[in-house]
Structures are given as C-alpha cells and as structure tokens.
C-alpha cells in the first residue's frame, strides 16, 4: 500500500483536524498567566516554554486518540470496519505503543516547564484513561472527556502563573480586569460544558431513537458555554465581550441550522468551533489592552492573542478535508 494511503488513517486516528484547537486552548492559559508574570521581563523566557506546553497538549491529545482507537478496536470491527485497525493496516500493538510514547512525551515536555504543568498533564492522562475505558458503556464519561479539554488552559496558566496567582490573591492592582485565576477558571468551565454537550449530542443524534431531553440538554450546554466564557468580559467591558462572543454565536447558529445534518457534518462543525470559545477571551483581552501597554518587543504576544483562535478555527476546518475530525 502507498505511503499516502497509510498516512491518512494515521491522521484520522490522531484527529489531526482538532489539533489546532488544542494549541488554541493551551494558548489562552499561557496568555493570561504570562501577562502577569514574564512579559514584563521582555518575554525572553515565554516563547520557548509556551511552545513546549502547546506541543505537550498536542501530544497528550494525539496519544489519547491512539489509545481510544486501540481500546475500541473490537467495537470498530463491528461498527466502523473502515478504520485502520479493523482493516489490518496497522497492528493493535503499534497503536498502543504510539499512545504510550505520545503520552510520556507530553508529560515530559510539561515537566520541562514546571512540575505544576506536569501535574496538570498527568490529570489529563488520567481523564483520558477514564474516558477511554468507559465511554462505550455509559453517558457520564462525557464529563472526563470535557475535563481533558478544560485542563489544557489550566496547564498553560500554571506554567506562567506564579505572579498571576499572587495577583489573584490581592486583585489586579490598577486594572479593571477580573483576577487571572477567575478568567482561566471560567474559561475551563466553558470548555468542559461545550465538550460534554457536544459529546452528549453526538452520542444521541446517531442513535436509532434519540432522546429529545438529552438533545435539548446538549443544545443548552453549547449555548451556556459561550455565555460562561464571555460573562466576565461582558461585565467589565460590554463592547470587548461582544467582539469575542459574536463569532461564536454566528457559528453556533450555523451548526444548528446549515450544518445540522448529516450527523458527521454537524459534529465536525461543532469540533471546528472549539477555538471560537478561546476567541471570546482572547479577542476581548486584545481589545481591552491599549496598543501602548506593551513595548515593541511584546507586540507579537498581543498579536498572537488576536490571531491564534481564528487561525485555529480556519485551519481546523481546512484539515477536516484531509482527515475526519471524529
């Protein structure tokens, strides 16, 4: 079999189309934490550590997907025979080995930044295992699945958050912004609810007799996630909060109308929209910071806050043409 024919199933297993959203999730925590710690020193230590944490998040995510497909290989043989393991394209042991390598590499990169990041990364691995073990047997594993996403900005935040945590304890002096810990906490909860609602909806949408109550809860959760992600920004600056919220609202409307059917299209559209939650925070944060609040050396940081979420959304949507997102 040709190399491209063997590569595409690997990309599908890795859910490569969702990787940009992982990077975006981690960046939100980095941006909020670093704003109160290292940018003031010229940012010389920020970018290498930021890159380590974003790569760590990607490795943990990809490793979890390989572990999931390895665990579900018998179920896939009956229900998804086109996948790589049921077709015999790769040996199950190869997938398990790759999963272990990716997870260990992600943990190691997080540890390079700080032991706190490694602890959060270990929690992500723990919830990956919980979800993988039980997600075919019950509904509740949508919660640990959501926690895996919710912990990504937390991992980014604790890597840079020593001064951010101190600022949280006493309030951010001279600033109208909420405490950085509050920002990250609300964002993490928003991601948790969004992923859990998305997973719940996908689970029941594809069943022969979908539960109307479960689908209603799913839709409510999707909407609620955007409100939670934006609430603090709207309280402190309505205009800034709306700037970030509008793209999310528009995309959710499209997901619930134009991309409502078929189910794979609907789920793929919702997965592509994950960075738009990050955009609520980052676009608001960008708009609330005066241009002259950062010296020229730190302008790339400010620009990154502006471009990473929408770029992750667009690139994730484009990558869905290369390999399925789910």
pLDDT in tens, 29-53: 998 887 765 454 455 567 888 999 9
Question: According to the model, what pLDDT value does residue 323 have?
Answer: 86
pLDDT at 261: 86
Residue 185 maps to a domain: yes
Closest CA to 23 of 321, 324, 319: 319
Task: Give the contacts of 121 (CB within 8 A, at least 6 positions apart).
Answer: 56, 60, 106, 107, 110, 111, 155
CA–CA separation, 225 and 247 (whole Å): 14
Tell which residue, 28, 53, 23, 22, has the closest CA to residue 301: 28
pLDDT of residue 202: 83
Q: What is the pLDDT of residue 147?
A: 97
Determine the pLDDT at residue 174: 42
pLDDT at 172: 44
CA distances (Å), origin 17, targets 23, 49, 151, 157, 274: 12, 24, 20, 24, 12
Question: CB within 8 A of 237, min separation 6: which ones?
Answer: 176, 284, 287, 288
- Reported as a pLDDT band with limits 50, 70 and 90, residue 297 is low
The answer to the question of residue 325 being in a domain is no
Q: Which residue has the higher pLDDT, 261 or 57?
A: 57
Retrieve residue 43's tokens: 């940012």
Q: How far apart are CA 83 and CA 32, in angstroms?
A: 39
Residue 152 has pLDDT above 90, yes or no: yes
Q: Is the pLDDT of residue 110 over 80?
A: yes
Report the C-alpha gap between 281 and 278 in whole angstroms: 5
Residue 43 has a pLDDT of 52
**What is the pLDDT, as a whole number, of residue 179?**
77
**Number of structural domains in the chain:** 1
Which range, of 61-75, 87-101, 112-126, 154-168, averages the lowest pLDDT? 154-168
Residue 163 reports pLDDT greater than 70:
no
pLDDT digits (tens, 9 = 90+) for 262-277: 888 999 999 999 999 9
The pTM (predicted TM-score) of the whole model is: 0.91
Maximum Cα–Cα distance across the chain:
63
Q: Which of the pair, 26 or 215, is modelled with greater confidence?
A: 26
Whether 299 is in a domain gets the answer: yes
Which range of residues forms the domain containing residue 82? 3-319
pLDDT of 291:
63
Per-residue pLDDT, 169: 44
Average pLDDT over every residue of 52-59:
97
Average pLDDT over residues 188-213: 85
Instruction: Answer yes or no: is 326 within a domain.
Output: no
* Residue 228 to residue 226: CA distance in whole angstroms: 5
pLDDT at 171 over 70: no
324 within domain boundaries: no
pLDDT > 70 in the chain, percent: 85
Among 279, 266, 285, smallest CA distance to 312 is for 279
Whole-number pLDDT of residue 47: 82
State the average pLDDT for the chain.
Answer: 86
Q: Report the pLDDT value the prediction gives residue 298, as an integer from 0 to 100.
A: 66
261 half-sphere exposure, CB direction, 13 A CA radius? 0
């Amino acid at each position: 079999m040709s190399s491209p024919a063997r590569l595409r199933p690997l990309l599908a297993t890795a859910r490569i189309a969702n990787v940009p959203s992982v990077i975006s999730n981690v960046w939100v925590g980095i941006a909020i934490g670093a704003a109160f710690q290292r940018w003031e020193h010229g940012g010389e230590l920020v970018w290498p550590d930021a890159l380590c944490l974003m790569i760590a998040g990607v490795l943990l995510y990809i490793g979890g997907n390989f572990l999931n497909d390895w665990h579900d290989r018998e179920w896939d043989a009956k229900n998804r025979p086109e996948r790589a393991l049921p077709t015999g394209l790769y040996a199950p042991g190869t997938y398990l080995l790759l999963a272990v390598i990716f997870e260990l590499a992600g943990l190691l990169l997080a540890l390079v930044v700080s032991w706190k990041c490694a602890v959060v990364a270990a929690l992500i691995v723990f919830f990956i295992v919980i979800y993988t073990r039980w997600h075919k047997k019950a509904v509740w594993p949508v919660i640990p699945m959501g926690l895996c996403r919710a912990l990504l900005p937390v991992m980014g935040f604790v890597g840079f958050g020593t001064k951010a945590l101190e600022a949280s304890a006493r309030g951010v002096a001279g600033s109208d912004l909420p405490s950085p810990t509050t920002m990250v906490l609300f964002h993490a909860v928003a991601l948790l609810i969004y992923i859990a609602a998305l997973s719940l909806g996908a689970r029941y949408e594809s069943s022969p007799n979908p539960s109307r109550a479960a689908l209603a809860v799913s839709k409510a959760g999707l909407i609620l996630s955007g409100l939670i992600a934006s609430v603090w920004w709207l309280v402190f600056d309505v205009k800034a909060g709306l700037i970030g919220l509008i793209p999310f609202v528009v995309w959710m409307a499209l997901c619930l109308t134009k991309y409502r059917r078929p189910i794979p299209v609907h789920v793929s559209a919702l997965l592509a929209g994950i960075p738009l939650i990050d955009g609520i925070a980052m676009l608001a944060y960008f708009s609330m910071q005066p241009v002259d609040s950062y010296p020229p050396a730190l302008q790339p940081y400010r620009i990154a806050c502006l471009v990473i979420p929408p770029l992750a959304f667009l690139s994730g949507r484009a990558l869905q043409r290369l390999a399925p997102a789910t």
